[in-house]
């Protein structure tokens, strides 16, 4: 049984960012917030959430001496991806209002919080945003996205061997997934499960005939083949800009947006790869409001979800442009020992506030300190 157990306010207000869990911490990179300046080039911001103390911290900007050193640090962007291999976070892609899309690989050393740009070889993917990235062993897989130079959706798979820093275009066999962006790709075992995203009815070019895929496509990394998959009776609505994560060998998706339905979602679905079946999940507790472009990370037995954007309350549940960006954080708990936990915690920067944690056997009051 799953339960929403934590609700924090007052974190970084970010949309279309990228995040990675490292131990009991979550590192969040970039993204945007309505009203901020994204034309002036500046360093990407890095926020760190401690899942034990329930506190956010913003890392100070990196001091750069000279233009060459400055290039080691990525500029502010959105629509990028970040993955963890050993103690290094690899950030790739995304776009900025001034520079456009990017295809430079950046690396962030978690042990000393230093950026560097590894020397890469091979077939480097074209600059894009809205792609997906996932890791199997020491290899990062990039799929899809919107390619800037070709001005179209992609359905190519590229992989980066992080031991040799060599990029390669995967010669995938079988019927590929449709060209798309803002989908999700999740590794379970040796297979990559692709769900959702925005595509075009007529091919790779965007012609304002958007479709939203709701069928799972499976890529087998062992055979380099897109697999033929059975049909399923129960399916979630197609969507883009949702969250996806794997837990106990199953795939979960949350939230997202469908422009054809003019609808944001806050539903949670579970996909079983063995039975190739979907099931809607209704966690206990009060969950997030409908949203898209949030981040979601597994930290132990908890799923940490934060940020994203939703329609303004007065605008109803749809409307592409009247949006409200979020600074909240939620935790979805799957630990049976914590299912009786109920936390109400509203965090305000610089203000002392109390919150109460109720455990199965006892309760305790904690007092937060000013940041």
Which residue do the tokens 């904690």 mark? 366
| pLDDT tops 60 at residue 316 | no
Are residues 144 and 126 in contact, defined by beta-carbon separation less than 8 angstroms?
Answer: no
For residue 71, report the phi and psi dihedrals to the nearest 5 degrees. -70, -15
Which residue do the tokens 């590894």 mark? 118
Distance CA 61, CA 70 (A): 11
Residues 6+ apart with CB under 8 A from 321: none
- Could you report how far apart the first and last alpha carbons of the chain are, in Å? 34
Tokens of 87: 């103690």
Per the DSSP assignment, residues forming a β-bridge with 320 are none
pLDDT for res 285: 95
pLDDT, tens digit, 9 for 90 and up, residues 200-225 = 999 999 998 999 999 999 999 999 99
Are residues 193 and 218 in contact, defined by beta-carbon separation less than 8 angstroms?
Answer: yes
Residues 6+ apart with CB under 8 A from 137: none
Rounded to an integer, the average pLDDT of 147-153 is 96
Of 183, 93, 193, 79, the residue nearest 136 (C-alpha): 193
Tokens of 269: 């679905």
Please state, in angstroms and as integers, the Cα–Cα distance from residue 341 to each residue in 1, 57, 282, 336, 345, following that order.
Answer: 13, 25, 17, 10, 13
Distance CA 273, CA 304 (A): 23
* Average pLDDT across the chain, whole number: 88
| pLDDT tops 80 at residue 352 | no
pLDDT, tens digit, 9 for 90 and up, residues 22-49 = 999 999 999 999 888 777 789 999 999 9
| pLDDT tops 50 at residue 339 | no
pLDDT, tens digit, 9 for 90 and up, residues 280-315 = 999 999 999 999 999 999 999 999 999 999 998 765
Annotate 83-104 with DSSP letters as a single string. EEETTEEEEEEEEETTTEEB--
DSSP letter for 41, please. -
Residues 6+ apart with CB under 8 A from 19: 26, 27, 28, 29, 82, 295, 296, 297, 306
pLDDT tier for residue 180 given thresholds of 50, 70 and 90 = very high
pLDDT, tens digit, 9 for 90 and up, residues 241-268 = 999 999 999 999 999 999 999 999 999 9
CA angle 215, 221, 222 (to 5 degrees): 130
Distance CA 196, CA 179 (A): 11
Distance CA 333, CA 345 (A): 16
pLDDT for res 32: 93
Strands 121-122 and 166-169, how do they pair? parallel
């Amino acid at each position: 049984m799953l339960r929403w157990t934590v609700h924090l306010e007052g974190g970084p207000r970010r949309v279309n960012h990228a995040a990675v869990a490292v131990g009991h911490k979550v590192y969040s990179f970039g993204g945007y917030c309505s009203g901020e300046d994204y034309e002036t080039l500046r360093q990407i911001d890095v926020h760190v959430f401690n899942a034990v103390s329930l506190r956010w911290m913003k890392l100070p900007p990196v001091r750069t001496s000279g233009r060459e050193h400055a290039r080691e640090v990525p500029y502010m962007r959105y629509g990028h991806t970040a993955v963890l291999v050993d103690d290094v976070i690899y950030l790739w892609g995304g776009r900025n209002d001034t520079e456009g899309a990017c295809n430079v690989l950046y690396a962030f050393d978690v042990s000393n919080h230093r950026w560097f740009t590894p020397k890469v070889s091979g077939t480097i993917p074209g600059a894009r945003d809205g792609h997906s990235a996932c890791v199997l062993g020491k290899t990062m897989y990039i799929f899809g996205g919107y390619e800037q130079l070709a001005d179209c959706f992609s359905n190519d798979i590229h992989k980066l061997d992080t031991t040799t820093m060599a990029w390669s275009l995967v010669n995938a066999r079988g019927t590929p997934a449709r060209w798309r962006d803002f989908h999700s790709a999740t590794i379970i075992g040796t297979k990559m499960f692709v769900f959702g995203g925005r595509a075009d009815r007529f091919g790779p070019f965007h012609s304002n005939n958007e479709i939203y895929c709701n069928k799972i496509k499976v890529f087998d990394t062992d055979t380099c083949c897109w697999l033929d998959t059975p049909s399923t009776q129960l399916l979630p609505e197609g969507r883009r800009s949702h969250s996806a994560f794997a837990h106990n060998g199953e795939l979960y998706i949350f939230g997202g947006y469908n422009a054809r339905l003019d609808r944001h979602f806050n539903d949670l679905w579970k996909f079983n790869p063995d039975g190739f079946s979907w099931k809607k999940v209704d966690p206990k507790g009060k969950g997030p409001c409908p949203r898209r472009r949030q981040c979601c990370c597994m930290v132990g037995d908890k799923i940490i979800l934060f940020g994203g954007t939703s329609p303004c309350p007065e605008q109803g549940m749809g409307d592409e442009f009247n949006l409200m960006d979020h600074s909240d954080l939620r935790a979805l708990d799957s630990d049976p020992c914590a299912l009786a936990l109920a936390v109400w915690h509203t965090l305000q920067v610089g203000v002392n506030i109390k919150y109460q944690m109720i455990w199965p056997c006892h309760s305790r009051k904690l007092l937060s300190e000013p940041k």
